[in-house]
Amino acid sequence: MTLIYPGSFDPVTTGHIDIAQRGAKLADRLIIAVLDNPNKKTLFTVAERVELLKDAFKSDIKIEVDSFSGLLAEYAVIRGANAILRGLRSPTDFESEARYAAYNKMLTGAEPHLDGIDTIYLPASPHLAFISSSIVREVAAHTPDINGNNVISSMITPVARVALIEKFGRMK
């Protein structure tokens, strides 16, 4: 079974890593797919986000990192995925996710309720459920010395931390 785990990953967090590793245990192959959406302003470019993910999963042979633009449903079909993987942090996440799941199933099925691609959800691990890329970006932007900031360090990989320091250093 091939799972596709799509998202912005701006940047990858320990919450994303947890979902990807747990998802990979359920599948033969997991493709982490970074959405390239020119309409969405991001801190890291697609290439940078892909690099940070590749570094995070460099020793995991089941996990591949890629990027895509356009419709996820179309990309999932092209990549031969059996299901889409998403993480759920809260009931609010579920509300929007349920709509996307129905939409992706309809777009990939000959009939709305038949054959289309399903979405599998994994609940966030309780100790990581509060972590999000937006919190990481916010704290990093307002913390003068994120080098010594243990809060940030517990949420991202060491390489992502260096990338954040460089990003905000350059922006000053």
Catalytic residue among 22, 29, 79, 89: 89
CB of 161 to ligand ADP, least distance (A): 17
Binding footprint of ligand ADP on the chain (CB under 6 A): 7-9, 13, 15-16, 19, 86-87, 89, 93, 124, 128-129, 131-133
Q: Among this protein's residues, is 86 annotated catalytic? A: no
Q: Which is nearer to ligand ADP, 39 or 145 (CB)?
A: 39
CB of 122 to ligand ADP, least distance (A): 7
Q: Three-state SS for 21?
A: helix
Q: Among this protein's residues, is 89 annotated catalytic? A: yes
Residue 77 near residue 117 (C-beta atoms within 8 A) = yes
CB of 90 to ligand ADP, least distance (A): 9
Residue 31 near residue 66 (C-beta atoms within 8 A) = yes
Catalytic residue among 8, 49, 86, 133: 133
Residue 48 near residue 163 (C-beta atoms within 8 A) = yes
Q: Which is nearer to ligand ADP, 9 or 68 (CB)?
A: 9
Prior bond of 158 cis (ω within 30°): no
Separation between Cα atoms, residue 8 and residue 48, nearest integer Å: 12
Separation between Cα atoms, residue 56 and residue 59, nearest integer Å: 8
Which residue numbers are catalytic? Answer: 16, 40, 89, 133
